[in-house]
Each structure stands twice: as structure tokens, then as C-alpha cells.
Amino acid sequence: MILGDFLKALGQLGDPRFRRVTLIGVALALALLAAIYAVFVLGIEYLTPESIDLPWIGPVTGVDTLLDVTSFFLMIGLSVFLMVPVASAFTGIFLEDIVRSVEDRHYPALPPATGASMGDTLRDTVNFLGLIIGVNVLALFIYPFAGPAIPLVFWAINGFLLGREYFTLVALRRIGRTEAKAMRRRNRAAIWAAGTLMAAPLSIPFVNLIVPVLGVATFTHLFHRLAAAGR
């Protein structure tokens, strides 16, 4: 059923309103990653000499150029980890547009949402962003001991965090904060599973650029399905 929620979200990528938000989100994510990469390259050029002297070889030039090229592939790998906070930060920015697009298409009989203001949404997004960054920094000390299970640990940790954020922000639009938290506790397993389904594509470079939009849409379907079932 969670996969069905995801497939509904995926099937709406062609919707004009949905597509506009998706393109803006991808453009902003690329701009942010490009800015980080630019700072990274400038740091390499500033700290790396134009040539170094190696024993028995002599001076070697072009070291900074080699590091610049290598850093590009390194940034692609780092984007796996960087896209987690990016996905969290962009949720609050695009939440209303995405959820409204989904509800207009799939749940047209619903009354207007009045549960959370834009200010409350952004404040919660900042809090969730801080939590996600803090937990992922701590997780860096766990990954060396995880061995080949690193992807599973990454998905489990961020699936829990992203699921908590996406569901809470979507639910707050329709029900109060207290009920949203209670509903999240009652359905923690389904929410964690759906969050993990979002975290897995975050580990695929370029594919991870559309995850923030798909995540919000998926959790919109999940919330309404659970609410309709009385859960």
C-alpha cells in the first residue's frame, strides 16, 4: 500500500503544477550543490601548490588540476549525504504547493486546509533540519563499523527522520499538532517504512534531486489513506 502511495506520487510528475514545483526544486538543489562544489574547488586551489617535488621524480605540475577533476566525482558521492538535509530544507518551501496539487487531483472533496501557517511550517522545517544534520553527523561515527551494511544503516536512520518530518508537516495542515503527533505514534511502522522508501533513492545521484517533491506527495497519500481508515 505504501508502494501504491509512491506510485501515485510518481504518476503525477506530468501534472503542470507538480512539474513546475519539481523543476524549481531540482534547479535549487543543483544550485546549492554547485555552490558547495565551487567553494570546495576554491579551497583546493588555495591550499594546493602548482607543483610538488617528489623524490627520484622531481617537480610534478598539475596537481591542483588533478584534484579539481577528482573532486567532481567526490562531490557526486557526497551528494548522497548532502541531499538528505537538502530534502529536509526544501520540504517546508514547497510543502503547500505539492500537497495542494495532490489533494486537488486525488481528493477534490476536501475542505480547505487550515491547520498550519507558513510560519509554523518553516519553523518546524528548521527544527527538523537541525535534527537531521545532528543525527547524520553522529552517524558518521557509526558507518565505519557497519561495513557492507552502511546503505541499510543510512536508509534506516534517514528513513525514520524523513518519515517523521514529512508526515508531521503534512498532517499539521489538516489536524492539530497534538493529534498529528498521536497519529504519527500510532502509525510509526508505516511512516518509517515510507520514509525508508524515500531515503533509498536519496543514495542515487541525480535521481535524489526529485525525492523531496515525491516524498511530500507520497506522504500526502499516506496521511489521507490512514485517516480514511480511522488510523
Cα 223 from Cα 231, distance rounded (Å): 9
Helix (H, G, I), strand (E, B) or coil at 14: coil
Phi and psi at 116, nearest 5°, equal: -140, 135
Angle between helices 63-106 and 150-172 (to 10 degrees): 40
**pLDDT greater than 50 at residue 106:** yes
Cell readout for 2 is: 505504501
For residue 205, is it within any domain? yes
For residue 40, is it within any domain? no
For 168-182, the pLDDT digits (tens) are 989 988 888 888 899
End-to-end CA distance of the chain: 14
Q: What is the dihedral of CA 208, 180, 152, 146, to 10 degrees?
A: 120
For residue 49, is it within any domain? no
For 36-86, the pLDDT digits (tens) are 777 766 766 666 555 555 444 444 444 455 455 566 666 666 666 777 777
Computed over every residue of the chain, the mean pLDDT equals: 79
For residue 195, is it within any domain? yes
Taking the mean position of all CA atoms in its chain, how far away is CA 179?
25
Pick the closest to residue 85 from 124, 35, 136 (CA basis). 136
Residue 153 lies in domain = 2-13+79-228
- For residue 118, what pLDDT band results from cuts at 50, 70 and 90? low
Taking CA 189 as the corner, what is the angle to CA 114 and CA 219, rounded to the nearest 5 degrees? 35
- pLDDT at position 14 is 83
Q: How many CB atoms lie within 10 A of CB 198?
A: 25
Q: How many CB atoms lie within 10 A of CB 26?
A: 16
Pick the closest to residue 1 from 197, 186, 181 (CA basis). 197
For residue 180, is it within any domain? yes
Angle between helices 16-47 and 211-228 (to 10 degrees): 140
Cα 47 from Cα 55, distance rounded (Å): 21
For residue 29, is it within any domain? no
Comparing 102 with 209, the larger pLDDT belongs to 102
Cell readout for 98 is: 505539492
For residue 84, is it within any domain? yes
For residue 56, is it within any domain? no
Under 8 Å between Cβ of 21 and 97: yes
pTM for this predicted structure: 0.79
- For residue 208, what pLDDT band results from cuts at 50, 70 and 90? confident
For 152-166, the pLDDT digits (tens) are 998 999 899 989 988
* Structural domains in the chain (count): 1
Taking CA 165 as the corner, what is the angle to CA 161 and CA 170, rounded to the nearest 5 degrees? 150
